[in-house]
Structure formats: structure tokens, C-alpha cells
Amino acid sequence: MGRYVIRRVLQFIPTVLGTMFLLHYLTSLGIQLTGNPVRALFGDRTPTPAMMAALSERLNLNDPCLTQTGNPCIGLFGERLVNIAQWDFGISLTGQREVTDIIGAALPYTIRIALIGFVFEAFVGILAGVLAGLRSGGFLDYFVKISTTLIIAVPIFVLGIVIREFVAVKFGNQLRADPNFPEIISRGFLAAGYKPDYPWASLFIPGLVLGATSLAVTARLTRTSMVENVRADYVRTARAKGLMPRRITGVHTLRNSLIPVVTSLGVDLGVLMGGAVVTETIFNVPGIGRVAAQSARTGDASVVIGIVTLAALIFLVANLLVDILYAVLDPRIRYE
Amino acid sequence: MKVRRSATIAVATAMTMLAVAACSSSETPTDTKTSGAGAAAGQKGGDLRIYATEPAFLLPTAGDDMPSINVIRQLYRGLVKYNAETGEAEMDLAESIESSDQKNWTVKLKTGYTFENGEPVNADAFIRAWNYAAYSPNAQNNAYFMSRIAGIDEMSSSDPDGDGPKEAPEPKAKELSGLKKVSDTEFTVELKDPFAGFPVTMGYSGFFPMADACLKDTKACNETPIGNGPYKIEGAWEHNVGITLVRSDTWKGDANDAMADKLSYRIFADDNAGYAAYQAGEIDVMEAVPSARYKEAKAQYGDTLFEAPGDTFTYVGLPLYRDEFKDKRVRQALALSIDRQPIIDAVFDGRFTAATGFVSPTFDGFRPDVCQYCKADPAKAKQLLDEAGGWKGDKLVLWGNAGVGHEKWLQAVGDQIKAALGIDYEIRVNLQFPEYLATADAKKFTGPFRLGWGPDYPVIETYLKPLYGTGGSSNNSTYTNPEFDKLITEGDSAASVEEAIAKYQAAEDILGEDMPVIPMWFGKVAALYSTNVDKFVFNKISDVEYGKITLKQK
Amino acid sequence: MSDLIPSATSDEPALQSSSSEGAGATGGTASLWSDARKQLIRNPIFVISSLYILVVSSMALFPGLWTDQDPRNCIISQSRKPPQDGHPFGFNILGCDYYSHAIYGAQPSLSIAIGATVGIVLIGGTLGLLAGFYGGWVDTIISRVVDIFLSLPFLLGALVFLTVVKVQNILTITMVLVILGWTTIARVMRGAVLSAKNLDYVLAARSLGAGNLRIMLRHILPNAIAPVTVLATIALGSFVAAEATLTFLGVGLQPPEESWGIMITDHQVYFLEAPWLLIFPTTLLIGTVLSFILMGDALRDALDPKMR
């Protein structure tokens, strides 16, 4: 077991370095192809060369390799790694803030919305999947199948905007008009976006939207897994032994069916934390997804690299934990 | 005066980030918590909740975008302010700003003003702020605005080999030679060239004073500003979330500059999300309605929608460095084939005013119909083109920057030109903003190009010299006309602003004939406020006066 | 914002088991497929989905069959006029016929989806086959590369890639989708190959002197076709939706190109005023995505003997 974990952790290092280099190369290439992003800060007003030079130097964008298209800027990458090892991710293009500060400020919101989405997804998803799986081919099965597929099929931005406009604004305004209605619901849970006065409640709807797509995945996976296990030999044996059907479902089938679901959920938590770009934008959640999307658009390389590296790290750690968990649950994996 | 460059980008970006409109019921968002019956008008108090986007900086010398300036104006005050009703410049912290030759100016200060930390607002407070802004290694965005002051050239240095390995040398001077302290309440400013509009420009936030403690640690001062204005910051700037200001106890100026107890700026990344928050009653003032929601907002919240002409200018530049655009009759013909109003109505829901000249309708010195080629007349257009010997180029290439929806109206422009003159066109909108601007700087456009302009100060010269003066900083058409340059110089050194305006107007007339660019339209202000607001105050020069807005009191 | 191919990854365990099952029934590949065909024809969901896809594909291939209007012929005074005789979908912002736009919009959307799916099957399939078959250092390198690309969040990754390439056309968007999407196929392929590699008939073929290439193509690959087909079908749907989302984020196709994603993104603000501008393209898009996913589901059920 210990050796397995050590092997996995060692594999981890080249992956993280590879991800960082990929991002570094992409953003460098972006600057080489589209020009110095500092220029865009000045818009229609042409800056003096002195101004451009001073800002470029401050932002570490004055390396000559950034003008040679295709140059991977290995030197710059090395510099970046050394800095990152000292917990210095550089400063942002707009506002010139420390990237670590930016991420530190944004992360709590992302953690909150991801947790809400995760709980929703796990709870409702598993419940729907189990119900569908037990009566495979029945009405509930079809209902769950069609409704979850529909959720996957609707683009998330359409879903988010429709919910914001109709549930939070329209329906919420009806409730807000009634002074006797509890404010925590009318102004908190039904807020039109993130609201500092209600740090958790106002993230409820965005969290549900975020969890909705993964909910469909969880439900379908649970269903498939249930269906398989219901027909497994050990269930047949249990039934032959005359065990109560409730006990067979509750203890044997469910527990075994949930192994793949739990692992998938673990990976999902990593994915959710990786930044909900669209949901955070629509519901004005100041999390890392919103910041990353803005930065990618303005060519803010250090912020993008910082955030995406972090997201990748979270994903990889989640994956690692899940794999270890899997190895604990299923001894065959260890000897692969 | 204001700089809109980032705001222009933001508005444009908003056009790609669209949202579903709400249902048709017409209730105005009300917040039962703060609105109440029997309200007395014009009273102090309350919490004004403001829609905002993330400022770049809260340091006066660095913040040059609208979101920054909106906050800085409440935290800091300068020599001059603009009258909320007329927009005219009035003395604020200055007692007087005078000059006999429009080149050497003497500034006298009122006494008794202090910063939040107790430091006095004296001559040093201004001189140190301006020096800090001008010194190029400080990389302050508002260095640009110091460029009229004598000694600016010694304050900046450029890299000898561009992006090469050599570092830029230290600038020769650390202080502007044009700034001289006379006493604590008096200093003199020497300009490089005479400029009659100098006092008027002093209301721009880039000229606001800064405390010594602030310059000692600008990073901290950016997060928790040490201001001298009617409001002070509560806590610190909560990035991407909000900024809260409360009334300052040290403000000695007009007590009516701080009506609400509290200004709560809530920061949004997407204006449609902000509009949803307004609809849900979470916002009291939204300075700019998303353009695509304008029609809907007008229908639903018409009573609390404030509209006024704006000053952002959109134009289609013509590359005079290319042969096919050298004949002014060709340029006139192109301008005559465009019918602006249908484009404004269809693509922008009427959010713009069709341009009939080169300066904003909100400015002193504006005259309608300066540009006789700015209305559609396809027959005359065809005739002018024929006189010029027809179109000599290939397909007309219309340029715009990518990803912000310019292609929509450029396509309409192309269609109109094709219909009037029979010139086929293609649209090139694949360059992102940095590369697009670099292409403009390098003069490499192969056809008409879209660009915008926001005024730097409330003198019409701001629309003329930088854009069309020989070697002007943003003269992307490479237009040059000695007569035009002469009139601008005469205007700059005129004895009074009125005389100056007459010269500038004569210069504008030359543009109306030469057509170096095709003026398209000027922005319109459309601000929404909630029913909690008792009196909404808009300043045509410095925008929404958040401090002067009163809330209905319970 | 979740995986690129959510339903695909989720069902992976099921797929893997199905592939090993298929491998067990060696030589029965043909009958597996013919059985599946029989079952699929009787499945109403599969039939309806296929018909829908057929209709949409004909829009993409032969727009002339559906409309004789030119979508680029616009009259600005007709801006946002509602559906009317001869113009069943009304007019868009610039006053172009919206129905012909919707018809012509099918082509870019489907081209991207099909191109990207072919891409991930070729690249992911090849790399997964090599990794599973050769094992050792080949497997190590390919698996680490898979990890790297898998660790990039899909939308953030796409944002970074597309802002870098700056030219956002059908080709570049397809390429980015391939770059971020091939890993799923590679993993499934690798798993299927691993489980088939040491089966008796493969060992037998090897002992008879068959070369690596022959073993890979003739004996191992057929085992992986079923799970990969299912995944690819579902990926088709995901890619149609992904195109729209990328457009919403401002890194998708750019007008004057017309795609369903552009139509949805451009007109959603006018939902109240002119709801048809949002409803028509959204319905077409959701129908397509739904059809592909349901087809994939039906395929999986049909190809998995355990499900019978």
C-alpha cells in the first residue's frame, strides 16, 4: 500500500511540471502572437515608449524571447518556477496585485459554491440513480434518464440565465414584495447573485446550477452500477439464502454499487473546485473561475497560470486521494 | 473630465455577454427596508448601494479608468470641481489659478483642508503627487496627463534598444522642473507650451493631491486610501466584491458633498448580472444600463431612468497612408453613403446619438451639422466618387477588434457602402485588442478601421489635437494639415477659453471638409436608480455624483 | 465546469466491463453487432434520435433543400421582426431571415462536432492502443501526458488555448476540442486493450507468429470498438453544446460566420422582446445534443450483452 502511494506521488511531479510548462508555453505564445498585452491597457490612447517600458518591466513582460514567435522561453519558465517555489506567482496585469493575493481572496467563494453544488449533486444524484436502478426499465427509470439527459443537453449558460431571471428576479420579487416573508429566503436564497450580506444563502442557487450537470452524471452512474450489481452472483446467492430484499438492497447492492460513484464524486469535487467559469460569471460570484475567465480575455498570463495551475493541482490531488481510496476498497488495484 | 478607455472596452465586452430578459411585469424594484412613506426630501443619511466594476487602482496617480475614478472622486478632491448643474469648472481646494501668458500659472490654495491621517493639504501635497505620477519608472497611468508640464521629458527615459536586453536608464530628473513651491498655500506651474484650458483640466482625478504617508507606501494606500475628500474608506478594498465608503469627519468643504452616510460599491464582472441585481432591488444606482437591456429598462423603469447625451466618440478612421484614400472626395463619398440612425436603432436600440461633427454635444463649443458629409446621400456620394475617378482599390476591408461585437455594425456599414457606391467589402475582426492597437500604432490598416475616443478634459481641443494634429498621440489616420495645426496652437495660447473655442471651432470646420475620419456616433448616458433614491445627481463632466445623491429617509 | 464528456466518463466502469465481456465472446463480434442492430431497430428512442440527426445532417449538407433564401441578404429595417409568412423564424438584429440562418447554422455546429469526434477517436484511440499494447515506458509517457491534459479544467483550458490562437474559426475550435477531449478515449481504449491483451486467442495468435501490428489491428482493436463507438456518439452531443458555451464566453466562432452557438448567444438578451430569436436555435441545439446522447445510451445498452 505504502509503495503504491509513493509511486503515485512520484508520478504526480512530472504531471504538475508538464501542466505548468504547457500553460507557460501557451501564454508566452499568446504574447508572441498578439503583442504585448500592456499596450491594450492604454486603449485608444497611444502610450509613450517610456511608459510601455516601465510597465513591461514591472510585469516581467520585457524578456526579449516574448517577441520571438515559437520560442518556448525556457529561461523565463525557469525563473517562474524558482519564483513559484518561493510562493511568488507574479503580479497581475490590471491592478498589479500579487497573484497569490488574488487567488487567496477568490478561493473561499469557489470553495463555498463548490461545496453546495457537491452536496446537492451527491445527495440528489445518488437518490435518483438508486431509484432508477432498482426499477430498471420502469417509469422512474425513464423519467430519471430523460430528465438528466435533458439537463446535460441544455447549455449551462442558458440554464443559468433562465434560472437567474425567472427564479431569482421574477419569483424572488414576488416574495420580496411581501414584508412578512422571511428575508433570509427572499433576499438571501433568492438573491440575484452573490451578496455579501448572505455569504452562504446567496450562493445556494448558483451552487445548484453548478451541481446540476454533475448531478446528471452521478445519477446515471449510480443507476448503471445498481443495475449491474442487482444481477451479480452474490446478490443472487443472498436472495437464495433467503435474506430480506430490503437488506439485500440496502447492505449488499447499494454498498457495492457506490464504489465507482464515490470515486467519481471525489474527482468531481476537484472539477467543481477548478472554477465554475460560466456559473460564477452569471451569478457574479467573485471566485477563481470568474477571475480566470476575465484574465484569459485580457491576456493576464500570470493570473491564468496561477489559477489554472492551482485548479490542476486540486484536480490531481483529488484524483490521487480517490485512487488511494479505491486501492483501499478494491485490493486488486494495488497489484496492477 | 474623465478617461473612458477601459469603460469603452467594458461596454463593448458586455455586448458579447448577453442575458435573457425578464418577464413583462412592470414593477420597479423596491427595497422595503430603506424606503418609507412620509420621507422628507434632501436629507442626509442612508446607505447608497452602487453598481460598480472592479477598479484598477484607488491611487489618484494610477487610476485612469471609469471604475477607479468613480471611487477616487469620493475619496479625494482636487484644485477644481465641476458644477453639478452646468458642468462649469469651479474652484474646489484652490483659491485661484491664474496666469498672464497661459504658460506660467500660479495656484493659490484654500487653508484648513487635511488628509484622513491629519496631514495638511498644502502645495507639497500636489507637487509630490504630480512628480510621482510623472516619474516614468513609477509606471503610473496618469503620467500621460502630466505631459504638458515643463520638465516632463527629463522625467521619463526610454529603453535604448526597445525590447532588447539593455535596461532603460534612470531618467535625468526626479522632479518636474515646472513645479515650484512658493509657500505652503501657493505654487507655480510652468507649462511646455501655453494652454488656456489648464485650470479646467485640474478637475481630473489624476491631478488630485496625495499624502506623504500614502507615497511612502503606495501599495497600502491603494488598498486603504488616505484621502482628503468627503468620504473615507471603511475597512479595506475587498477586491472583486465591494468597496464601502463612509462620511469623513475631516472634510471641511461643502457639507452637501456627502449626503448618504455610506456608499456601498458592489463589484460585478458582468453588467447583465448587475442589471439582475438592480431588478431584484439590491442596487440603488446603476450608472450604465447594459446596451441590450436599454429598451426593456426604458419600458419597465422609465420613471427612474436618467438619460443624457454622452461624450464617448466612435469613428471609422481612414488610412490616409494608403493611396486609395488620399483623395478627399473619396473620403467624402464614403461618409455620405452611411445612414447612421437605422444602424443605431437596429444594433444598439438607440443607445447612441448619430454624430454630425467631431466634438461631443455635451461640450462647450459644440455646434450641430459641422460635418456636411455625415448624413446619407447616396446620389451625391456616387457623384463625388465618379469625380474622383472612381474607386481604385480592391475590396474595401473594414477593420474592427475581435470579440466585442463590432462586426455587427461594421457589416451594416459595409452593406450601405456597397449599396451606395458598389464597392464590395470584407470585414476583418480577427485581431484581439492588443494586436489591433499595435496595428493602429504601426499604421498597417488596409482599409477603414473602427476606433473610439473619450475626452481627457472638458475642452473641445481634447477631441481635436490628439486625433488629427500632426504627430498627435492618437492620430491613427496620419492626417496632417498645417492650417489645422496653426488654429489649434492659436487656440491653446488664446487669452481666454472663449477665444480659444472660436479657434478650435475653425479647426473643426477644416475636418468637416477634409474628412480624415468618418464620425459615427456619440454615446448616450442611461443611468438607472431605484425608488429609494430621492434625488439623483448627474454631472455632465464628472458623471454620477454619488456623494450628492439623497435617499428617501424613513 | 465539469468534464468535457460528462456522461461518457461516468459510465466508464460499465464500458470496461462490457468490453471485457465482448472479448470473452471471441469471434462473436459479428453476431454481437447484428444482435445489436436488431435491438436498436426495435428501440423507439434510438429510431427517433436517428431520424432527428438525419434531418439536422441534411440541413448541414444540403441547406438548399430546406431554404432558398440567402442568410446574408439582410435589410436593416426588418430588424427583429417576428415570424411571418415566408419567414417562419422572423428576422434577426441585422434584419436577415432567421430561418435560413438556422438552417445554415447547422453546418458549422455539426462540422465542429464531427471533426472533433473524429479527431479524438483517431488520436485518443491510437495513443490508448499503443499505451495498452506496449506497456512499459510507452505506457508511462502516454499516461502522464493524459494526466496533464486531463488536469486542465475544460472551459479554462479552452479559454487559454483559444485566446492564444486568436483566430477562432471552425478549424481552431475543432483542434482545441480535440486537444482537451482525446484523453477520455485514450483511457477507455487503453483499458480495453489491457483486458484483451492477455486473452488466450491473442496469445495463440502471437505464438502462431503474428506480428504486433496484425495482433493490434485484427485481434485487439475489434474489442475496443464497442465502447469507443458509444463514447464517440455521446462526445458528438457534448461538442455541439461546447461550441455554444465557448461562443458565450467570447472565444467561439465569430460572426459573420453563423452557428447555433452564435445565434443563441447573440439573441438571448432579446428574450423578452423577441423570444423566437432565442427559442428556435436553442431548441434545435438541445434536440441535437439530446439525440446524440440518447443514441449513445441505446448503443451501449445494445452492445452490452449483460444488459439483455
**pLDDT per residue as tens digits for the range A9-41:** 888 888 888 888 888 888 888 788 777 777 777
Question: Which residues are CB-neighbours of A100 under 8 A, at least 6 positions away?
Answer: A87, A88, A89, A306
* Three-state SS at C24: helix
d(CA B415, CA B422): 10
B280–A172 CB contact, under 8 Å:
yes
Interface membership of C308 toward A (CB under 8 Å): no
Instruction: Read off the C-alpha cell for B93.
Output: 481646494
- At C166 the pLDDT is 67
B538: part of which helix (H) or strand (E)? strand B538-539
d(CA B243, CA B273): 18
B410 interaction partners in chain C (CB closer than 8 Å):
none
Q: Is the pLDDT of residue C18 over 50?
A: no
- At B486 the pLDDT is 95
d(CA A291, CA A310): 13
d(CA B201, CA A88): 40
Q: Is the pLDDT of residue A94 over 90?
A: no
Sign of the Cα torsion A130, A131, A133, A134 reads positive
Sign of the Cα torsion B143, B149, B152, B155 reads negative
- At B98 the pLDDT is 93
User: Residue B554: how many CA atoms within 13 Å on its side-chain side?
Assistant: 7
d(CA A219, CA A141): 10
Return residues 299-328 of A near C (CB < 8 Å).
299, 304, 307-308, 311-313, 315-316, 319
Residue B86: how many other CB atoms lie within 10 Å: 12
Q: Is the pLDDT of residue C14 over 60?
A: no
Interface membership of A69 toward C (CB under 8 Å): no
Q: Give CB contacts under 8 A, 24+ apart, made by B487-491.
A: B488/B461, B488/B464, B489/B193, B491/B196, B491/B461
d(CA A52, CA A69): 20
**pLDDT per residue as tens digits for the range B173-204:** 889 999 999 999 999 999 999 998 899 999 99
B342 interaction partners in chain C (CB closer than 8 Å):
76-77
A152–C6 CB contact, under 8 Å:
yes
* Three-state SS at C304: coil
Degrees (nearest 5) of the Cα angle C260, C264, C270?
Answer: 145
B316: part of which helix (H) or strand (E)? strand B305-317
Residue B364's closest CA among B517, B491, B549?
B491
Residue A129's closest CA among A221, A209, A250?
A221
Higher pLDDT, A313 or B223: B223
Distances (CA, A) of C26 to B58, B346, C35, C192, C256: 72, 65, 15, 14, 52
- At B26 the pLDDT is 38
According to CATH, the topology of domain A99-334 is: MetI-like fold (1.10.3720)
B452 interaction partners in chain A (CB closer than 8 Å):
43-44
Residue C25's closest CA among C307, C217, C305, C308?
C305
B281–A196 CB contact, under 8 Å:
no
- At A334 the pLDDT is 53
- At B160 the pLDDT is 52
**pLDDT per residue as tens digits for the range B462-502:** 999 989 999 887 899 999 999 999 999 999 988 888 899 99
Q: Quick check: A288 and A310 in contact, CB under 8 A? A: yes
d(CA B6, CA B12): 10
Instruction: Read off the C-alpha cell for B230.
Output: 468627503
Residue C216: domain span = 25-307
- ipTM of this complex prediction, to 2 decimal places: 0.85
d(CA C125, CA B89): 71
- At B17 the pLDDT is 31
- Burial of residue B170 (CB within 10 Å: 0-12, 13-18, 19+) is exposed
A49 interaction partners in chain B (CB closer than 8 Å):
158-159, 162
Tell me whether residue C3 is in a domain.
no
What residues does each domain of chain A span?
2-85, 99-334
C94–B408 CB contact, under 8 Å:
yes
- At B167 the pLDDT is 57
Higher pLDDT, C131 or A268: C131
- At A330 the pLDDT is 66
Distances (CA, A) of C295 to B101, B358, B528, C301: 83, 60, 49, 10
Q: Quick check: A289 and A277 in contact, CB under 8 A? A: yes
Q: Testing the interface with C: which of B338, B341, B349, B424 to mutate, by most C Cβ within 10 A?
A: B349
C254–B272 CB contact, under 8 Å:
no
- Residue C231 pLDDT grade (very low, low, confident, very high; cuts 50, 70, 90): confident
Å between B289 CA and nearest CA of chain A: 16
- Burial of residue A141 (CB within 10 Å: 0-12, 13-18, 19+) is middle
Q: Is the pLDDT of residue C16 over 50?
A: no
Q: Is the pLDDT of residue C5 over 50?
A: no
Q: Testing the interface with A: which of C4, C5, C10, C154 to mutate, by most A Cβ within 10 A?
A: C10
**pLDDT per residue as tens digits for the range A296-307:** 777 777 888 888
Å between A206 CA and nearest CA of chain C: 12
A166 interaction partners in chain B (CB closer than 8 Å):
22-23
d(CA B268, CA B17): 13
For the segment B390-418, the average pLDDT, to the nearest whole number, is 87
CA distance between the termini of chain B: 36
Rounded percentage of chain A residues whose pLDDT exceeds 70: 96
- Residue B9 pLDDT grade (very low, low, confident, very high; cuts 50, 70, 90): very low
What is residue B192's DSSP assignment?
S
**pLDDT per residue as tens digits for the range B14-41:** 333 333 333 333 344 444 333 333 444 5
Interface membership of A274 toward C (CB under 8 Å): yes
The number of distinct structural domains making up chain C is: 1
What is residue C92's DSSP assignment?
-
What is residue B366's DSSP assignment?
-
A45–B168 CB contact, under 8 Å:
no
C80–B346 CB contact, under 8 Å:
yes
Q: Quick check: A302 and A61 in contact, CB under 8 A? A: no
d(CA B91, CA B97): 8
d(CA B479, CA B469): 7
Rounded percentage of chain B residues whose pLDDT exceeds 70: 90
Question: Which residues are CB-neighbours of C268 under 8 A, at least 6 positions away?
Answer: A158, A161, B18, B19, B20, C278
- Burial of residue A255 (CB within 10 Å: 0-12, 13-18, 19+) is exposed
Residue A183: how many other CB atoms lie within 10 Å: 15
Q: Is the pLDDT of residue B246 over 90?
A: yes
Å between A15 CA and nearest CA of chain C: 5
Residue with the three cell numbers 446537492: A120
- At C262 the pLDDT is 87
- Residue B380 pLDDT grade (very low, low, confident, very high; cuts 50, 70, 90): very high
d(CA A211, CA A122): 9
Q: Is the pLDDT of residue B426 over 80?
A: yes
Q: Quick check: C126 and C178 in contact, CB under 8 A? A: no
For the segment B255-268, the average pLDDT, to the nearest whole number, is 94
In A, minimum Cα distance to B8 occurs at A43
CA dihedral A247, A249, A252, A253 (to 10 degrees): 180
- Indicate the angle between helix axes C170-197 and C136-151, nearest 10 degrees: 140
Q: Quick check: C79 and B341 in contact, CB under 8 A? A: no
Residue A333's closest CA among C188, C191, C7, C10?
C191
Å between B419 CA and nearest CA of chain A: 30
Q: Is the pLDDT of residue B1 over 50?
A: no
Rounded percentage of chain C residues whose pLDDT exceeds 70: 87
- At A327 the pLDDT is 73
- Indicate the angle between helix axes C170-197 and C154-165, nearest 10 degrees: 130
Instruction: Look at the pTM and tell me if it is higher than 0.90.
Output: no
Instruction: Read off the C-alpha cell for A236.
Output: 443472487
Å between B293 CA and nearest CA of chain C: 7
Strands B396-401 and B425-431: parallel
d(CA C209, CA C204): 9
Question: Which residues are CB-neighbours of A250 under 8 A, at least 6 positions away?
Answer: none
Minimum mean pLDDT range among A273-287, B19-33, B242-256, C128-142: B19-33
Interface membership of C272 toward B (CB under 8 Å): yes
- At B2 the pLDDT is 40
Give the number of A-B residue pairs with CB atoms closer than 8 Å: 191
d(CA B99, CA B105): 5
Minimum mean pLDDT range among B60-69, B121-130, B158-167, B340-349: B158-167
Plot region of A304 (φ>0 → left; ψ -120 to 50 → alpha; else → beta): alpha
Round the average pLDDT of chain B to a whole number and report it.
86
Domain of C228: which CATH number? 1.10.3720.10
Sequence-ordered alpha helix ranges (H) in chain C: 6-10, 12-24, 29-41, 44-61, 63-66, 98-134, 136-151, 154-165, 170-197, 200-207, 212-214, 221-248, 260-267, 276-303
In B, minimum Cα distance to A68 occurs at B163
C79–B430 CB contact, under 8 Å:
no
Instruction: Read off the C-alpha cell for B294.
Output: 436599454
Rg over CA atoms, chain B: 24
**pLDDT per residue as tens digits for the range B134-169:** 998 888 888 888 989 999 888 877 655 444 445 557
d(CA B160, CA B152): 18
In C, minimum Cα distance to B273 occurs at C269
Q: Quick check: B533 and B304 in contact, CB under 8 A? A: yes
B441–A290 CB contact, under 8 Å:
no
Tell me whether residue C39 is in a domain.
yes
- Indicate the angle between helix axes C221-248 and C12-24, nearest 10 degrees: 160
Round the average pLDDT of chain A to a whole number and report it.
83
- Indicate the angle between helix axes C136-151 and C98-134, nearest 10 degrees: 150
Distances (CA, A) of B118 to B70, B130, B193, B427: 24, 20, 36, 58
For the segment B203-210, the average pLDDT, to the nearest whole number, is 94
d(CA C70, CA C82): 18
Q: Which residues of B71-85 are buried (b: 16+ CB within 10 A; e: fewer)?
A: bbbbbbbbbbbbebe
Maximum average pLDDT range among A105-119, B391-405, C224-238? A105-119
Q: Is the pLDDT of residue C24 over 50?
A: no
